Amino acid sequence: MTVTITTGLNHLPASKKLKALSKQMSETHLRDLFAEDSKRFDKYSMEAAGLFLDYSKHQINDEVMASLITLAKEAGLDQAREAMFSGEKINYTEQRAVLHTALRSFRDEPVMVDGENVMPLIRDTHVRMKAMTEQVHSGEWKGHTGKSIKHIVNIGIGGSYLGLKTAINAMTPYHVEGIEHHFVANIDPNEITEVLGKIDPETTLFIVASKSFGTLETLQNAQTARAWMLEQGCAEADIRKHFMAISTNLKAIDQFGIAQENTLPLWDWVGGRYSLWSSIGLLISMVVGWENFESMLKGAEEMDKHFRHAPLEENMPVITGLLGVWYQNFMGAESQAVISYDHFLRDLPGHLQQVDMESNGKRTREDGSTVDYHTGSVIWGGTGTNDQHAYHQLLHQGTRLIPIDFIAPATSHNPIGEQHPWLFTNALAQSQAMMQGKTLKEVRDEMTAAGISAEEVERLAPHKVIPGNRPNSMIVPEKVTPEVTGALIAMYEQKVFVQGVIWGLNSFDQWGVELGKILGNTLIEKIRSSEETTDQDSSTNGLIKRFKQFN
């Protein structure tokens, strides 16, 4: 069914005023807004949980922000926020609570799910994660030949991969010496073959992360890793010295050969894309140490406290979420760029694609009706300054409106000469250039002053005009620490929650992902069969035939 899209969010009364304001703001340049208000930066900037947010370079004024806050209140954001933190089953299609926030809570208050306080379960799991981590770091955990562990391979996909990779790379300066980590996520045999070529079977520990212990990619890769260990001389009885698991399927784990004491639990109120805070984060603890993993949790908790208790008008996830709604539903944007000026944050856009697009890439409200407005934004990005030499051209002079988050730490873990000041300056310059651009008059004056002929000025000047008025935020932590890593990821998670509430979506299921899995289980039998496939659509039939020509 085709979705008919209208401008605005007609189910919320404040939408009418925001539509009128969007016409006004589309005819207003950011240059003029700054010229009119010398206090604009002070008014539209804030700090929370170690993050500083400058959102002054957005196409907003006080009236726009007040109307967006009204929109959030009309959508019931206050109540929805408290329902999530309280353990209500806000994932209504699967009848589950949503409690990744409890995983990073150090409060003594109980959090109840189906009459049970889950906090003691979380605390017990933390104790076990810490003990496992210390066993590996101390050399107490040994492989089948008595050697200590040097390589740790995480086998998991989706939330059991993207979030871990993002957090681990963000905390590179905190990595424990002597431990090398590897990821196997894709079912592509090239990936696991490449990893197996880098590791030593005598000193390798595999962590298999799968709630059901039945995820296709994860189970296939785990079985390949197990077979490889046996081929390399590990006895069947010693497999348990090289495998840990994070799962609830104890029977399957036992059959695989993983000792139950080397298995950590995972609960159904932890969504995959939020699972880095859970036992799935064991690899993070192994790589950076338990203390730094715990510091990351505490940084996320600080952002959660801010999100839960700060007024909407002074609330960082609320403001960033509302800005996204403003551009997507009222100003015509379709995507959001996230560009970090820190090499260690290079994987953040990939993780945010799952957090955002898997959460809000939906069209159905709780009552089963189809929306008539755009929902989840297309998330993309990369790192500066590399990307300045790639897609920034489109951002500056292209025809699409693309809001940008620039993330630029004020200090570096590796200060070398003036390299970090230059890095930050580049981020600042891009943010400023996106906002102010360069007018035709400025281009002409610049070219004339350079002695270029009037004829050449007229010919080239239009090509050098930069329209500006490109909305962007600057997020400036002091440095990327474990606490900042936690706060940053949590801020984006809560931003996505805010938008889901306003759009009337369940941000915590993913039925679109499930369909591909179901069809895959059917089609693999067609691939395996020696008979010609004729009962699918003509494209699928033809592509199966093409595959069989070479296999």
Q: Is the pTM of this model over 0.95?
A: yes
Measured from the Cβ of residue 107, the count of other Cβ atoms closer than 10 Å reads: 10
- What mean pLDDT comes out for the span 386-399? 97
Q: Assign 34 a pLDDT band (cuts: 50, 70, 90).
A: very high
- What mean pLDDT comes out for the span 377-403? 97
**How confident is the model over 272-330, as pLDDT tens digits?**
999 999 999 999 999 999 999 999 999 999 999 999 999 999 999 999 999 999 999 99
- What mean pLDDT comes out for the span 350-357? 98
Match 């209500």 to its residue by tokens: 88
Q: Assess whether 246 and 278 both reside in one domain.
A: yes
Q: Assign 481 a pLDDT band (cuts: 50, 70, 90).
A: very high
Q: Assess whether 211 and 136 both reside in one domain.
A: yes
Measured from the Cβ of residue 276, the count of other Cβ atoms closer than 10 Å reads: 31
Q: For this structure, is 358 an active site residue?
A: yes
Residue 141 lies in a domain: yes
- Mean pLDDT score across all residues of the chain: 96
Q: Assess whether 368 and 410 both reside in one domain.
A: yes
Based on the structure, what is the number of domains in the chain? 3
Q: Assign 517 a pLDDT band (cuts: 50, 70, 90).
A: confident
Q: Which of 202, 294, 358, 483 is catalytic?
A: 358
Residue 299 lies in a domain: no
Q: What pairs with residue 152 in β-bridges?
A: 181, 205
C-alpha 422/C-alpha 318 separation (Å) is 32
C-alpha 396/C-alpha 381 separation (Å) is 15
Q: Assign 511 a pLDDT band (cuts: 50, 70, 90).
A: very high
Residues 370/3, Cβ–Cβ less than 8 Å? yes
Residues 500/281, Cβ–Cβ less than 8 Å? no
Residue 251 lies in a domain: yes
Least trusted range by pLDDT, from 6-10, 138-142, 194-198, 281-285: 6-10
Q: What pairs with residue 370 in β-bridges?
A: 364
Residue 463 lies in a domain: no
Match 């603890």 to its residue by tokens: 285
C-alpha 279/C-alpha 316 separation (Å) is 28
Q: Assess whether 270 and 416 both reside in one domain.
A: no
pLDDT, residue 433, reads 98
Q: For this structure, is 198 an active site residue?
A: no
Q: For this structure, is 29 an active site residue?
A: no
- What mean pLDDT comes out for the span 462-475? 98
Residue 367 lies in a domain: yes
Which two three-digit tokens encode residue 288? 């950076």
Domain coverage including residue 541: 513-549
Which helix or strand (DSSP H or E) is residue 383 part of? strand 378-383
Q: Assess whether 203 and 215 both reside in one domain.
A: yes
Measured from the Cβ of residue 131, the count of other Cβ atoms closer than 10 Å reads: 11
Q: Assess whether 257 and 328 both reside in one domain.
A: no
pLDDT of 1 strictly over 60: no
Q: Which of 23, 43, 147, 517 is catalytic?
A: 517
- What mean pLDDT comes out for the span 75-93? 97
pLDDT, residue 444, reads 98
Residues 356/44, Cβ–Cβ less than 8 Å? no
**How confident is the model over 189-245, as pLDDT tens digits?**
999 999 999 999 999 999 999 888 888 999 999 999 999 999 999 999 999 999 999
Which two three-digit tokens encode residue 375? 């929902």
CATH number, position 525? 1.10.1390
C-alpha 320/C-alpha 322 separation (Å) is 6
If you compute the radius of gyration of the chain from its CA atoms, what whole number of angstroms results? 26
Q: 87 in the Ramachandran plot: left (φ > 0), alpha (ψ -120 to 50) or beta?
A: left
**How confident is the model over 237-269, as pLDDT tens digits?**
999 999 999 998 888 998 999 999 999 999 999
Strand boundaries in 177-321, DSSP class E: 180-184, 204-209, 243-246, 263-264
Residue 152 lies in a domain: yes
Chain-centroid distance of CA 408 in Å reads 17
**How confident is the model over 420-438, as pLDDT tens digits?**
999 999 999 999 999 999 9
C-alpha 56/C-alpha 58 separation (Å) is 6
Alpha helices (runs of H) in 274-418, residue ranges in sequence order: 282-288, 290-309, 316-330, 348-352, 359-360, 392-397
Phi, psi torsion values for 118, nearest 5 degrees? -85, -10
- What mean pLDDT comes out for the span 161-185? 98
Q: Assess whether 272 and 388 both reside in one domain.
A: no
Question: Which residues, other chains included, contact 375 with Cβ-Cβ below 8 Å and sequence gap of 6+?
Answer: 360, 361, 362, 363, 503, 505
Residue 483 lies in a domain: yes
- What mean pLDDT comes out for the span 58-65? 98
Residue 543 lies in a domain: yes
Give the percent of the chain with pLDDT over 90: 94
Q: Which of 39, 251, 309, 389 is catalytic?
A: 389
CATH number, position 205? 3.40.50.10490
Q: Assess whether 174 and 62 both reside in one domain.
A: no
Per DSSP, the three-state class of 112 is strand
pLDDT, residue 250, reads 85
Residues 420/427, Cβ–Cβ less than 8 Å? no
Q: Assess whether 325 and 381 both reside in one domain.
A: yes
pLDDT, residue 2, reads 60
Please, what sign has the CA dihedral across residues 130, 132, 135, 136? negative
Q: Assess whether 475 and 396 both reside in one domain.
A: yes
